[in-house]
Amino acid sequence: MKLVLYANTDWYLYNFRHALAVALRDAGHEVLLVSPPGDYGPRLRASGLRWEPLPMDRRSLDPLREAVLLWRLWRLFRRERPALVHGFTIKCAVYGALVARLAGVRARVGAVAGMGYVFTSHDRRARRLRLPVKLLMRLAFAGRGTRLVLQNPDDVSVFREAGLVPEAKIRLIEGSGVDCGRFSPAESRTGGAHLRVLLPARLLWDKGLAEYAEAARRLRAEGRRTVFLLAGTSDPGNPAAVDESTVAGWVDEGRIEWLGHVDDMPTLFRSVDVVVLPSYREGLPKGLIEAGACGLALVTTDVPGCREVVRHEADGLLVPPRDARALAEAIGRLDDDRALLARLGRAARAKAVERFDERIVIQRTLEVYRELLGGPPG
């Protein structure tokens, strides 16, 4: 069968759905990856996958530009005649399902990782978009042959209570999967005198960057010499993007060290003691799961998505969102109690292997495909 995986960036396809695409290809199916052009498209092709660029402005509200995008997508689906289209993130999930239905594609799957900017932001632009997005979602996932995949129970409840998609069409799959062989603990971990803390995330306010920088300032003011690292780059297509000059200011103040983009994340994880994600809301944060698979203690917020990865004091620590003081206290606690640090890291590794390994996620995704297609992929 031919299957199309459609996302709003080639970076997303490479980092979150590469293993799924390879599994489908190795099972004998023809896989087409579609996204706007970028640096990761050639990497997808280099790994033996077929990737096709499709121009798209993630922030566009221009009706003419969006109509052109929908027309191009319809032409692509009519030309390729796939058996199934799987769209990722709200815009691609809605557009992919809607256009695939018009193009006569038999099976349509949408995957939404978190509620996204439209549903989590309080600014005027986001509030204005909510009603049109809700109406489009209901239209896109109407009819037979559709499923919506969500990553945490909170989002399932929100979609069900809002009547966005019929409950019978919603499937819960925890995350996009992590290679727990590649992301594994260091053979020997000898903690240094100074705790090394890492926040791996895109430069977005709703990832808790401001709280992270403030926690660093507070702990430095206490006289601690904790090392605060930030790994990630700007995401100018996202309305919640943090300007790089702001991050550079934190670096100049001595609060954090900014690493920018890091290709080899397993090696970076093995060089630190704690990974934090003070996010305001997530689907299921892959960076936290990767860090847990590497045997690291985790500190994150008690919000949807994050609390599915971390259970307080069992395999990590939970703090309230938007609370820099609580974040600083949690990090300071791990600095003072290295036995707790090690215990939480071991538990995080066990949980990642048991629940979030990519083989589990791929198998559950293929079950959704079989449900719609009445047989393989498999």
Separation between Cα atoms, residue 79 and residue 100, nearest integer Å? 12
Handedness of CA 370, 371, 372, 375 (dihedral sign): positive
Q: What CATH number is given for 2-177+357-373 in this structure?
A: 3.40.50.2000
Phi and psi, residue 61, nearest 5°? -120, 10
Over range 17-46, report the average pLDDT. Answer: 96
Averaged confidence pLDDT in the chain:
92
Choice between 209 and 281, residue whose per-residue pLDDT is larger: 209
Same fold, 2-177+357-373 and 196-356: yes
136-177 pLDDT, tens digit each: 888 888 888 999 999 999 888 888 887 778 889 999 999 999
* Cβ contact 54:7 at 8 Å: no
Collapsing DSSP to helix, strand or coil, 35 comes out as strand
Q: What is the pLDDT of residue 238?
A: 82
Closest by CA position to 227, among listed 253, 195, 269: 195
pLDDT tens for 91-140 read: 899 999 999 999 999 999 999 886 555 665 667 766 777 777 778 888 88
Q: Is the pLDDT of residue 319 over 80?
A: yes
CA distance 243 to 122: 19
Nearest by Cα to 143 from 105, 112, 111, 101: 101
Domain spans in the chain, listed from the N-terminal domain onward: 2-177+357-373, 196-356
Q: Which residue has the higher pLDDT, 268 or 161?
A: 268
pTM score over 0.85 = yes
Phi, psi of 305 (to 5 degrees): 90, -55
- Those residues whose C-beta lies under 8 Å from the C-beta of residue 117, and which sit 6 or more positions away, are 126, 206, 238, 239, 240
Rounded alpha-carbon distances, angstroms, from residue 88 to 9, 114, 215: 10, 11, 33
Please check whether residue 102 is in contact with residue 144, taking contact to mean a CB–CB distance below 8 angstroms. Answer: no
Please, which pLDDT band fits residue 57 given cuts at 50, 70 and 90? confident
**Among the CATH numbers 3.50.50.60, 3.40.640.10, 3.40.50.2000, 3.10.129.10, which is that of 196-356?**
3.40.50.2000
pLDDT-based confidence at residue 256 (cuts at 50, 70, 90): very high
Q: Poorest-confidence range of 45-49, 125-129, 372-376? A: 125-129
Q: Is the pLDDT of residue 89 over 70?
A: yes
